Amino acid sequence: MAMRWCGWLLAVVLLGLPGWPGVQAADGGQGGCPALLTSRIPARPDDAITASGFVQETRGLSEAARERILAAELLRGNLPPFLRDLKPVTLHGRAGSGRPVEITICVMPDYLALGTNDDFIRTPMGRQAAFRVANQFGFILPTPRMVDAIHEQAEVKLTPVPLPPTDQMRSTAYFQRHQARIAAQRLAIGAPLGVLMDGQKKDLVLTSRLRDLPGRVAIYGWHPNAGDPIQPLSLVHGARYADYSHGVRLVSGVAWADDGRPRSLLTLLEDPEVAPVLSDEGPIAGVVGLVRDLAGEPATARVTLASSVGPRRGGCGSAC
């Protein structure tokens, strides 16, 4: 079953391509992530609305109607260009056999947003919409351990700015208000768009607990300090819940481990030998089917093989 599903959530259709040029080690700013990892994200249409237009268009609509428009806009490629420049994050640990393991994932530098670089809004959304967008783009949502690693390796760490908890937390106006707070923080320290940034939002995450609680959404993170998230892993809210504090950080479905060659991140999450490096839960059995169910979508007919894209230049570190 895993082989039949391997193409459903890998990053790109890459059969027959040789190596990826310009890919080097993910340490010390010496390398980066291949641009081809985002090739399943459509180009932003010329007629796509900006964040300001989205706010106007969805004013007065229900949360469900707003989310349908949001998902449709994202799926047609309406997201700011800076999000397409993925950043490498390397997780270290030990395999089940005790040997050191190093796995590099490629993540969006910020949370999923709609609009242009000059006019965008970070877009909280419910669980199914988040997993659906991730699926179509060839990405997954992070595990809590990945969220921790992203925070630790972020070039810019913003201080979380919670807003007062009111019955308006799920409104577009609250989304805008929080967006303005984050923008003010970023501008105050002179941080450019596109750097790996953390502290803006809590994360929607992937956890095996969603199998036992299929009607819920899993939230984790928002770190004021390393190892000290405001939000421990929580499955309190229903699957459609989304408030201003939630964000969707996408992680490419292709990662690098052991021999430095690309692997399906879902395959690694099922592998008892290396999964503990990526998830505090250890291996997530049946993760492909779980992610499919969370997206509410059947399998696609795509056949993609991460093994065809070639090794990362710069080696594979201590895992080799």
Show me where the domains of the chain are located: 2-306
pLDDT, one tens digit for every residue, the chain (320 residues): 333 333 433 433 332 222 333 333 333 333 589 999 999 999 999 999 999 999 999 988 999 999 999 999 999 999 999 999 999 999 999 888 888 999 999 999 999 999 999 999 999 999 999 999 999 999 999 999 999 999 999 999 999 999 999 999 999 999 999 999 999 999 999 999 999 999 999 999 999 999 999 899 999 999 988 778 999 999 999 999 999 999 999 999 999 987 788 999 999 999 999 999 999 999 999 999 999 999 997 754 333 434 434 454 443 333 22
pTM, entire model: 0.86
CA dihedral 27, 28, 30, 35 (to 10 degrees): 60
For helices 51-58 and 172-189, the axis angle rounded to 10 degrees is 160
3-class DSSP state of 93: strand
DSSP labels, 231-285: EEEE--SBTT---TTEE---EESEEEETTTEEEEHHHHHH-TTTHHHH-TT---T
